[in-house]
Structure formats: structure tokens, C-alpha cells
Amino acid sequence: MTAAGVISLAALLATIGSLGYLHIAPTGLSPLRNAVSQYGITPYKAGYRAATLAFSAAGLALALAVSQALHDRGSATIAMLIVFAAARAAISWFPMDRPGTPHTQTGGIHALLAIAAFGSATAAAFRLAGALSQPGAWHTLAGTSRALGWLMLACLIAMALTRRLAALGRWFGAIERGFYVSAIAWFATFAIAAATHAH
């Protein structure tokens, strides 16, 4: 469990480093307005791919840590983490459509992978909170998992609203980055718990 937690944490740090680099690189994108996926259609797309692959690795390692810590009680969470990891690993090979251009099959696949990744991470947080409601490993972190799950869900709802309300559209990037912060915080919480054998 310790090794899985350390690997997950290291992969998260790589994710944060890659995303941080993209935000200071001269991409011309606005963190408030533009989607994170838009970095994948700039000359800096390698940085975006590095971030998605690192986040995928963090998900797989955390799935292993959950399996070792909770055994059968963590099966639903593990399934969600595997879906997350698969979607993150694939998404940079299916870039989003350029704004203002016709919709393509590749762009449609990108959207489905994004929904799968965001939805599965949110579901994993709630399923893990449920599993941790019983006494055992990480029992004291049940509330943290649930709270971060609600934060992720709130961001997802707000992201959907920005697609329907033009006045909110300029804030899509900021809200999506709020989801990333919430998700990374959730992954980090349990990666650290696994690495330190927290209870």
C-alpha cells in the first residue's frame, strides 16, 4: 500500500507540474475562459499529454492502494478509478474541436472521455466515502471524501450551466479548474493516506 500511495502521489506531482507549466507558457489561452483541454490543440500539446498520462497513472496507483487498504469494500471505488485512468490515458489522442469549427467524431469522443473522467472521479469520491463509513482503514477520512465529492459535483453542475447560459460562458475555464483542484485534492488525500498508513 505504501508503494502504491507513493507512486500515486508522484504522478499527481507530475500532473500538477505539467499543468502549471501550461499555465505559464505563452499559449494565449485564458485560465478563466478556456478549457484545460484546449492546451491539447496548441503547440504545447505535449505538456497536456504529459498531464493526462500522469493523472491516469495516479488513478491506477490509487486503485491499487484502495484495493490493498479496503479489499472488497473498495470494489466500486476501484472500478471508478479504472474508468478514470482509462479515460485520462486516451483523451489526448482525441483532441477537442477547435472553437468555431464544425463538430467532428474525434471531438465527440473527446467530450465523452472528459465526461467519463470527470464523472468517474466524482463517483469514486462518493463511493469511497460510503465504504469508509464502516470502521476500518481511512475511516476518519470519510467526511473528507464526501466533501470533496460534493465540490466536484458542484463544479460539474456549474460547468454544464456555463454551456447553457451565455453570461456564464466566460467563466468555464475557472470553474473547470476548480474541478481539477478538487479532484487533485481528493487523489492527494488518499495517496498520502496510503503512503503514510493513515487510519
Q: Does the pLDDT value for residue 198 go beyond 80?
A: no
Average pLDDT, the chain: 94
Q: What is the pLDDT of residue 81?
A: 98
Other C-beta atoms closer than 10 Å to the C-beta of 164 total 8
**Number of domains within the chain:** 1
Q: What is the pLDDT of residue 120?
A: 98
**What single letter denotes the amino acid at residue 191?**
A
Domain with 51, as residue range(s), is 2-196
Q: What is the pLDDT of residue 167?
A: 73
Query: What are the pLDDT digits (tens) for 68-81?
Result: 999 889 999 999 99
Query: What are the pLDDT digits (tens) for 81-140?
Result: 999 999 999 999 999 999 889 999 999 999 999 999 999 999 999 999 999 998 888 999
Closest CA to 83 of 121, 49, 109, 111: 121
The full DSSP string for 52-99 is HHHHHHHHHHHHHHHHHHHGGGGHHHHHHHHHHHHHHHHHTTSPPPPT
